[in-house]
Each structure stands twice: as C-alpha cells, then as structure tokens.
Amino acid sequence: MNAWNKFWNWYENKILGSIVIIAIIQFIQIPHMVWNADLYLDIGVIARVHPVIDWLLYGVDLIEIVSIINIGMIIFSLVKKRRNQRLEASLTKLQN
C-alpha cells in the first residue's frame, strides 16, 4: 500500500474528529458575526472598542480555511469510498 492510500485509510478512521473540529470553528463564527454586524452598522458596542479584540475577531475568518480544506477532504474521502464500493460490487457480479 502506498503512502497516499495509507493516508486516506487513516483519515477515513478520523472523520468524526474532523467533523468536531469543523463544528468548533463554526461555533467560533457566532461572536465573529456579531462583531462584524457591529462593525458594519457602526454601533460601536464590540467593534473598535479595543484593537486586540478587533484583531482576534477578524482573525476568526482565517481559521475558516481549515474548515474549508477539511470539508473538501471529507467529501473526497466519501466519494473515493463510494467509488471503491461500486467497483467491488461490479467485480462481485462479474465473478458470479
């Protein structure tokens, strides 16, 4: 088995952990959305109160990259798994 297949076998066993990471990232988005709305509506309750808070809440956008990559990997893994199952079913039919 080559390294590529070893990686995907390992990843398929860890999909639940990946989904938990994605969920955490999405929950972190809630304060970011409130901050962003405050920023655009120019209310000033959260946004522009302190530069460190603004920097942290703006930085939440950057962790979405992890979520996007993770979703792509999960989709690829599931498509690959389904394709392999169909190939195995086709081979089984041919052998019978």
Average pLDDT, the chain: 87
Please report the pLDDT score of residue 14 as a whole number.
87
- Measured CA to CA, the distance from residue 2 to residue 62 in angstroms comes to 33
Could you give the C-alpha distances from 15 to 22, 49, 55, 69, 82, in angstroms and in order?
A: 11, 39, 31, 13, 15
**Domain map of the chain by residue range?**
17-95
What pTM does this model have?
Answer: 0.68
Predicted pLDDT at 83: 92
**pLDDT digits 0-9 by tens, 30-68:** 888 888 888 888 888 888 888 898 888 888 878 888 888
